[in-house]
Every structure is written in structure tokens, then in C-alpha cells.
Chain A
Amino acid sequence: MSGGMSGGISGPIRRSASVRRLVAIGVTLITLLSPFLWLLQMSFKSNDLILQFPPPLIFTPTLQNYASLWQGAFPASFLNSLMSASFSTALALILGVPAAYALSRWAGRGKHALSFAILVTRMAPPIAFTIPFFLFYRWIGLLDTVTGLVLVYTSFNLPLVIWMMQPFFETVPSSLEEAALVDGASTRIVFLEIVLPMVTPGIAATAILCFLYAWNDFFFALILTRSNARTAPVAVVNFMNYEGWEWGKIAAGGSLVMAPVLIFSLAVRRYLVSGLTAGAVKG
């Protein structure tokens, strides 16, 4: 099997990448990422430079935009995002992982119906829940609180956890469990000490996805927060002033909001890829 065939889009045969293909991939990557890179470079420009055309690709960068962001409500919104995303992820995992295990071992009827109901909650547009949540939170005083956000985020993260962890549990051979159970171990022990360690990659991937979805949320935060619990994505939109489209600040704000997610995703990319595909493909 010659390894010299090269060029363009190929078939399913795996071979070492040719130079032409690598170049094609590189060019495609830069082109695809150019809008994102444009945002990044704009965040380091002063407003005058931004309005200047042709856009100077080489310029003295300034941290002014980032610095001015750090005074004001932006740090607080970052903290809100962090708290609401982390706590809802933790809550969803604590509740959802055992539930996914139970579902994967369920032999009874109704399993498909249950799975389907869970899928629908995951798939429903946010507005379906925002109206009732808004009215209820108003009545109970949870509007504009991190607690309120955590509950709302759990409402879509919990189904995600169950949906994603089920296939992972299904890959754990039941023979292992049977053996341990017959030996007298309780299901709880079997679950905690045998099954759980085997699905750690799945839990990691799911945790990251949950954090990602919660962090990225815009709609719920827009409606259910005012200024105490305002999250980073909404705070960025707030720069779109009544008086002054501060492009530099907007670009810097956008870059900051996406930074944690990017760093997170890149750091655990191995799990990210398997997590996303395992969940979707098996589903």
C-alpha cells in the first residue's frame, strides 16, 4: 500500500498526511478561525485604530480595554458565571450519575418513554421554561440570585448528564457486577467502587459539557437576573451602550467571556471529543 497518494479530499484510507494535505488543513484552519481571531486582535486595539482602514495588522497593542473592563461590574459577573456553572454541574452530576446507572440497568417497561422525556427536556427551547420560572421566582424571591440560576441550569444539565452517562454505563459489562454482587457486596458498593471508576472519562467529559452549557447560557440569565446575579455573557451585552459603541471594550469583553471555556476545552480536549461524540452517536 503506497503512502504516496496525496492531495485533496480523500477516501477512508488512513495514511500519513502529505504535505499538501497539511497545508490545506492549515489554510482551512486559519480561514475558519479568522472571525474569531479578528475579535481577539480588535480587543487589543484602541478605538481610533479600530475605525482605521486599511486595518493595521501590525500595531502597538494596548491593554486599555481589558483594564477598563476590570473596574465596574465585570469581575462580579465573572464570579456569578463561575458559581452558577460550577454548582449546577455539581448538582447535576450528583443527581444524574446514579440515575443514569439505574436507567442503564433497568429492565422494565417505560425505559424508552423515560429516556425520551429526558431528551425532550434537553431539547426544548429555553423560553419554554423561562416564563414559568420568571413568574415563580418573582413570587418566591429567587429572581436575580445565583441560586435561581443554579436551579435553572440544573434543569437542562441533569437531563444531559443522564443522557450522556447512560451509554458509558452500558459499556461496563454486567458480569463484573454480577460477580461482586454474588460475593455479597451491596449494589451501593458495587456502584461506587467498581462501576464508577470505570466511567471516569465519561464523567469528566459530561462535567465539562455541563459547565460549558451553563457558562454559555445567555437567555436564562438575560431574563432571570438584574444586576446582582448578572452573568458574564449578559454583562458583555451591556456594553452595547445607549451612548457609545465601545468596540474595543466589547471585543475585550467577548474575549474574556470565552477565555475560560476555551482554556477548559483545550485542556481536556481528549475527553471533550469522546464526550461529544459518544453522547450523540450512541443516542
Chain B
Amino acid sequence: MSGKGLVDAERRRFNRLALAPSLIVLFVIAGLPAIYLVVASLTPFQLVNPGSSTDFSAPLRNYRLLPDDPRFVNSLWVQAKLSFWGVLFQVLLGMLLALLLHTQSRVVEFARTFFLIPMVLPPIVVAIIWKLIYTPDISPLYYAAGLLNIAMPSLTSSVDFALTAIIIADTWEWMPFTFLMVLAALQTIPDEFSEAALVDGANRLQIFFYITLPFITPILVISGMFRLIDSVKAFPLVFLLTGGGPGSVTEVTNYYAYLLAFDFNEIGYSSAVTIVMLLLVVAVSLGVVWMGRRREAME
């Protein structure tokens, strides 16, 4: 057995050598900044106030100010709304699209790639595309509304519709993600189940609800959670379409933190807002990992 022992030792050494550089790099470029972020959130650090970066006299000051900051609380609500509706529609529409394309055909397989376009576009280009659609002067949407005599307000400067406008753009952009995942899952469902059910006289709807849906539900949940985590990063759409407005109706937490840090230069306070966001992301990520491990255990 000593031969195997040597091999094992050599393997372990190799593994360590293979892993080490990545871990070091990750620690330096991801770990250290994260630590710095926590430290900064304990100070009233403002760029124009150099002394404030090491002022630890009231470490929890920022965190205590957060719940009383109506703009912060509002941003959490806006984020929740954006994430909820966005993810819901992305999952639903992605699933419907996957069902539509779930068929044996070279043509369809070729066409499938084109459905991915919104997802691979640079997000800022997606924002530009929708800016063009939402600008009354040059948008076919408004022209059509004019023809039909519908008085359509400028969506991105309307209190009621600004967030909806962003949700629509966001859904358009990310629906291909769920579509892709559900389609892959659909293609793993064994044909025998549905064939047997058809022979037994089940109709399409029943097949969908009793066979398809249970199969793809875990994928729906997982892709929903991935999208949920990513939805916190929403920035280009808000930046270009509404600037957080009108008022603060589309000001998501990420955007508010950006304004705090880079317009008002309140680094300390912005770090505290970011930490809260990170905690939320971590919580959802834990959920994803837990679900993944549960599935592994079941398989």
C-alpha cells in the first residue's frame, strides 16, 4: 500500500499547487476588498473629509441610520418588486418558450440560438434599445398608440409605469436564461412516460400538469433563484432609462448605493448599504446551494 500512499501524497501536493494560486488571487482581489468594505462601513468615510476614513468612534452609526433613511427603505421595496415580478415573468415566459421549442427539428435547433440574443447582448445595449422604445419622439410604440388614439404617457417618467417599463425590459433581456435551462430539462424527460399516458387517454393539459411540470419544477426553482440573485445587480437599465426616477420610484438599492458612493462620495454609508445587499445575496445563494444538495441527495 505504500505505493498508493506515495501516489496519494503526490496527488495532494499537485492539488494544493493547482488550487493555491487561485485562492491567493481570489483572496487578494475579492477577499480583501470585501474586508475593506466591512471596515469602511464602520466609518463615516467621505472623500472630501480625509480624516473620516479612520474614524471608528461610532462604528455602528451607518447601520443605525439605515432604517431611518426613507430612501434606503424605499429602495429595498423597489428592489423587491423588481425582483419578484421580473423573476416571475422570466420563469413563466421562459418555460412557455421552452415548451414551444421542445421539438425534434434541425431548423428549430438552429433557430434556438437566435432566441438567446437578448441575453448575450451587453446590458447597456439592452438599455439603449429600450430607451429608443420608450422615448416618445422616436418610438413606434407611441406612434402606434397615437394612431389608435390611446393617450399613452411617457412610461419612464410616469410614476405608475416606470418600474413596469423596467421590468418589461429586464424580462426581455433575461427570459432566454430560463428558456435555456427549462429546454435542457425538458430534453431529459424520458418519452415513455408521456407516451404511456397518451395511450391511456390523457390529454395534453393533463400530460403537462402531471408529467412535465413535476419534472421541470426543480429547474424552474433553481433558475428562478439564479435570476433572483442576479436581479440585485440591475444597473444599466435604471441608469439609462430612469435615473432612479421619477422621484425614487425605480431607485433600486444597487443604484442608491452607487449614487451614495460616486455622486455624494459618502463611502462609509454606501458601504453599509452594500453590506446589507451582500447579506441578502448570501442568504439566497445559501438557498440555491441547499436546494442543489437536496437534489443530489435525492438522485
The answer to whether A and B touch in the complex, with CB atoms under 8 Å apart, is yes
Chain A residues closer than 8 Å to B15, beta-carbon distance: 101-102, 105-106, 187
Contact B37 A131 (CB under 8 A): yes
Question: Are B281 and A132 in touch, CB under 8 angstroms?
Answer: no
A207 on the B face (CB < 8 A): no
- Contact in complex: A273, B180 (CB < 8 Å): yes
Closest A residue, CB atoms, query B270: A131
Given the interface contacts A53-B143, A273-B112, does A131 sit within 8 Å of B267 by beta carbon?
yes
Is B76 an interface position by the 8 A CB rule? Answer: no
Interface residue? B157 (CB, 8 A): no
Number of CB contacts from chain A to chain B under 8 A: 292
Which chain B residues lie closer than 8 Å to A95 at the CB level?
Answer: 21-22, 25
The answer, yes or no, to whether B226 is at the interface (CB within 8 Å) is yes
Is residue B208 within 8 Å, beta carbon to beta carbon, of the partner chain? Answer: yes
Residues of B within 8 A of A38 (CB): 129, 132-133, 140
Task: Point out the residues of chain B lying under 8 angstroms from A10, CB to CB.
Answer: 99, 102-103, 204
Q: Which A residues are in CB contact (< 8 Å) with B185? A: 281
Question: Judging by beta carbons under 8 Å apart, are B124 and A218 in contact?
Answer: yes
Q: Is the CB of A99 within 8 A of B261?
A: no
Output the least CB separation between A250 and chain B (Å): 6
How many Å lie between the Cα of A283 and that of B288 in the bound state? 8
**Taking A32-B118, A254-B128 as contacts, is the C-beta distance between A158 and B289 under 8 angstroms?**
no
Contact mask for chain B residues 16-34; partner A; CB cutoff 8 A; 1 contact, 0 none = 1011011101100110111
Cβ of A73 under 8 Å from chain B: no
| Interchain CB contact under 8 A, A277 and B181 | yes
| Contacts A35-B133, A123-B281 given; does A133 touch B33 at CB 8 Å | yes
Q: Mark A129-157, 1 if CB is under 8 A from B, else 0.
A: 11111011000000000000001101100
Across the interface, do B100 and A251 meet the contact criterion of CB distance under 8 Å? Answer: no
B258 within 8 A of A: yes
Assess whether A276 is interfacial by the CB under 8 Å rule: yes
Q: How far in angstroms is the closest Cβ of chain B from A115?
A: 8
Residues of B within 8 A of A202 (CB): none
- Which residues of B are in contact with A by a Cβ distance under 8 Å? 3-4, 7, 10-11, 13-16, 18-19, 21-23, 25-26, 29-30, 32-34, 36-37, 40, 96-97, 99-105, 107-108, 111-118, 120-125, 128-130, 132-133, 137-138, 140, 143, 172, 177, 180-181, 184-186, 189, 191, 193-195, 198, 204, 207-208, 211-212, 215, 219, 222-223, 226, 229-230, 232-233, 235-236, 240, 254, 257-258, 261-262, 267, 270-271, 274, 277-278, 281-282, 285-286, 288-289, 292-293
A-B contact pairs, 9 of them (CB 8 A): A12-B215, A38-B140, A54-B143, A99-B22, A119-B288, A125-B281, A262-B120, A269-B113, A283-B222
Chain A interface (Cβ within 8 Å of chain B)?
Answer: 1, 8-17, 21-22, 24-26, 28-29, 32-33, 35-36, 38-39, 42, 50-51, 53-55, 95-96, 98-99, 101-103, 105-106, 112, 115-116, 118-121, 123-133, 135-136, 151-152, 154-155, 158-159, 162, 181-182, 186-188, 191, 212, 215-216, 218-219, 223, 233-234, 236-237, 240, 247, 250-251, 254, 257-258, 261-262, 265-266, 269, 272-273, 276-277, 280-281, 283
Other 13 A-B pairs with CB < 8 A, given A95-B22, A131-B33, A216-B121:
A1-B195, A22-B108, A36-B129, A42-B138, A101-B18, A106-B15, A127-B257, A233-B122, A237-B240, A247-B138, A261-B122, A265-B116, A272-B113
